[in-house]
Structure 1
Amino acid sequence: MTGSMMIARTAVAWIGFPAMVSATAQHQAPPPPDPKDTEVWAPEPARVAPGSPAAAPSDAIVLFGGQDLREWVSTASPGQPASWTVKDGVFTVRAGSGNIQTRRLFTDYQIHLEWRVPASATGSGQGKGNSGLFLASTGIDSGYEIQILDCADNRTYANGQAASIYKQHIPLANACAAAGEWQTYDVLWTAPRFASDGALLSPAYVTALHNGVLVQHHVALQGESVYAGKPSYRQHGAAPIKLQDHGDPVSFRNIWVRPIATAASLTRPGQAARPTSP
């Protein structure tokens, strides 16, 4: 091979080299993502001091703290004070006086409630320690009910036992304590939404724990609780929470509620995803 031919071939090789480098660069992996790109720093959740077995969280509305029923009114006589019996930090159904409901109205919320059927309770089925927690009261005897009943050793229809969404959703477990023992309900309530013409936009949802056991897991309600027939919806807005007088001396204590704000209401436009300096 002559010197001129070698020079020519070398020149061709060098001419092609930049193209090879360019093609290799085009196939290089992109740089790894920066973890900071997915850090959200604002808005920050509000600080809430957690409660204890005897105290509510710092942002809760206390509906009964052991002293009086100032947060409750009679449903039988609208606007009149609730007339159930208050004694020793507990209040008890006064049979025949009617249901009671909160003075305040609520939409979506978390509620904690403690209840007790007396150890001396007699009867069977629906006749032993019967009451109810109505998550939204739409009338004297109407609304959406979680059943309160002694079911530790007392059989009844499954969709009417303690922790059922009455006549709609059977609880996932029977977590009843014995009559005479205090029991807890911790419930998340999402109210139904309606269009201006009354059409249902989204149903009510309930998640509930009975004595710390999950018994209702984000169940969709078919409407208000009814004793006979099929449940259905009727338009309503924010509503009171109601407790039922079913004739049995069921007692209550330590009731509090935390209204739930939607994620949209917590968003403040214009805030940076993270501070400019950590």
Structure 2
Amino acid sequence: MKATRASRTGGILRLIPLSALLALGAPATRATLTASPKAAPAAHAQWRAIALRPGLPGFHRTGGDAVYEVVGGELVGRARPGKTNSWLVSDALYGDYIMEFDAKTDPVLNSGVMVRGQSRPDYRNGVVHGYQAEIDPSARRWSGGMYDEQRRQWLYTLGRNEPARRTFRSGDWNHYRIEAIGNRLRTWINGVPATDIVDDTDARGFIAFQVHAIPDEQARKGPEVRFRGVRIITDNPARYALAESGLAQQGYLTNRLSPGERRAGWALLWDGSSGKGWRAVAGPGFPARGWTIADGTLSAAGGGDIATLASYRDFELSVDFRLAQGANSGIKYRIAPGTRSLGLEYQLLDDERHPDAKMGRDGNRTLASLYDLIPARNLSDPASPGKRINPPGEWNRAVIVVRGNHVEHWLNGFKMVDYDRGSPEFRALVAASKFAGEQGFGTWAQSPILLQDHGDRVDFRSIKLRKF
């Protein structure tokens, strides 16, 4: 699609004094109008209203058949039957900016606002894709989370952000703030920090208002999403960025750490270019064959298991992985002393194609499971029990959290396994598994981290860990 830059004095943007914006209904919340110690006074910010007028000049509709119109100064999007999401897309493109708006949606209608949105003929026939600040009225309440529409799926869920989940008011107006500055994207909902990611995929794109496709029987009732008070800062927005909130940051810089991750104690376990810090489990040094390092990717294909030189006790480990079709692998931790690889395992598997997915009990050998012990289940969103998996050939993120005896497995932002090592329930699971008879299985105090080589092609990158 062709996009043009809006004029500062015409098109869809026009200067409006802050007092006038407040009179039009832009909420004067403390989070949006109080300057951080390092920010310029918000009252001096050069806010510009994104003028949503009848006929919607400066915008065009794409995707599904939802109806967009301006009613009483509010943008209204009404769902219509169909299987395709609808978008009202700005003709203007934006790089760095701060945007605020209010949104209200029917409890059955998911929505969102694209941040630096994309649409290209060479990508899935021009489908709208990219960063999206979520408006999620479901019981999950992940409004303010960051979703990578039609691409990587969730970049920042609210699975570990209970304050943001609690502040969302389903069926009522909620205030959003989005800061897109450099490679950092942050969101707030009703003044509560919701998202903090660092990602360098898209530096510029359009703004778009979504009406999500829903079942036809619901769509025929015409549920609505409404937006009002949409305003933006594009002139030196970093000057008006809010102070650091303490919210955990998710970094998506390949084999690099963001400043926020470094402050939080993260360290890279793999440098992206060598075998430094790793060894072959079956021999000295890094394997001479079977593991390859190229283009920032560490790939297994028949070289045997590898493990870190260092051992770890309490930690959070994050690993990006990419499976070939039919691949089998794993990430092991709490490995038994004196053994090569007897330990707890986060299973990496192509569930659809590898026969191991149907072995074991109740799916306890599938992707993200505690291998042969606990099947992976969507604990973050019980109403949608399926896994959020990017298919073979695309990257996924595995996270393992170990605090004392408590352990969690996460997959692409969703908690999949939650257990306590050494508990009666855990011991019963071990007794019913292939590890029955292994004295003290899984209860060892610390061990290296191990990447399994099952003979299948599996790629790894951005391997990072922080100690507790």
Alignment length (residue pairs):
192
Opposite residue 145 of structure 1, the aligned amino acid is E
* 1:168 matches 2:373: yes
CA RMSD of aligned residues (A): 2.7
Q: State how 1:228-239 maps to structure 2 within 5 Å.
A: 228-230=434-436, 232-233=439-440, 236-239=444-447
Q: Please state whether the residue corresponding to 2:364 is helix, strand or coil.
A: helix
Q: Whose radius of gyration is greater, 1 or 2?
A: 1
Q: Give 1:181's aligned residue.
A: 394
TM-score of the pair, normalised by structure 2: 0.38
Q: State how 1:5-84 maps to structure 2 within 5 Å.
A: 50=249, 52-54=251-253, 55-56=256-257, 57-58=261-262, 59-77=265-283, 79-83=284-288, 84=291
* 1:91 matches 2:298: yes
Whether contact under 8 Å (1:150, 1:162) holds in the other structure is: yes
Return the offset for 1:186: 1.4
Query: Equivalent of 2:323, from 111, 117, 123?
Result: 117
User: Which runs of 5 or more structure 2 residues have no equivalent in the other structure?
Assistant: 1-245, 379-386
Return the offset for 1:65: 3.5
Query: Equivalent of 1:210, from 384, 398, 411?
Result: 411
Opposite residue 301 of structure 2, the aligned amino acid is R
Q: Which has the higher strand share?
A: 2
* 1:244 matches 2:452: yes
Q: 1:146 to 1:53 in 2, by over 3 A?
A: same
Q: 1:239 to 1:225 in 2, by over 3 A?
A: farther
Return the offset for 1:136: 2.3
* 1:143 matches 2:348: no
Whether contact under 8 Å (2:335, 2:444) holds in the other structure is: no
Instruction: Give aligned-pair identity as a percent.
Output: 23
- Whole-Å Cα distance in 1 between the matches of residues 346 and 332 of structure 2? 6
TM-score of the pair, normalised by structure 1: 0.62
Q: Which has the higher contact order (CA 8 A, sep 6+)?
A: 1
- Whole-Å Cα distance in 2 between the matches of residues 102 and 206 of structure 1? 20
Whether contact under 8 Å (1:143, 1:225) holds in the other structure is: no
Q: Give 1:159's aligned residue.
A: 364
Q: State how 1:250-269 maps to structure 2 within 5 Å.
A: 250-260=458-468
Opposite residue 167 of structure 1, the aligned amino acid is D
Q: Give 2:66's aligned residue.
A: none
User: Which runs of 5 or more structure 1 residues have no equivalent in the other structure?
Assistant: 1-46, 122-127, 192-203, 261-278
Q: 1:49 to 1:183 in 2, by over 3 A?
A: closer
Whether contact under 8 Å (1:65, 1:253) holds in the other structure is: no
Q: Give 1:7's aligned residue.
A: none
Deviations 1:18-70 (A, max 9, x none): xxxxxxxxxxxxxxxxxxxxxxxxxxxxx899452113310222112421220
Return the offset for 1:254: 0.3
Q: Give 1:30's aligned residue.
A: none
Return the offset for 1:143: 1.0
Deviations 1:130-156 (A, max 9, x none): 001002222212111110001256652
Whether contact under 8 Å (2:334, 2:445) holds in the other structure is: no
Return the offset for 1:225: 7.6
Q: 1:189 to 1:82 in 2, by over 3 A?
A: farther
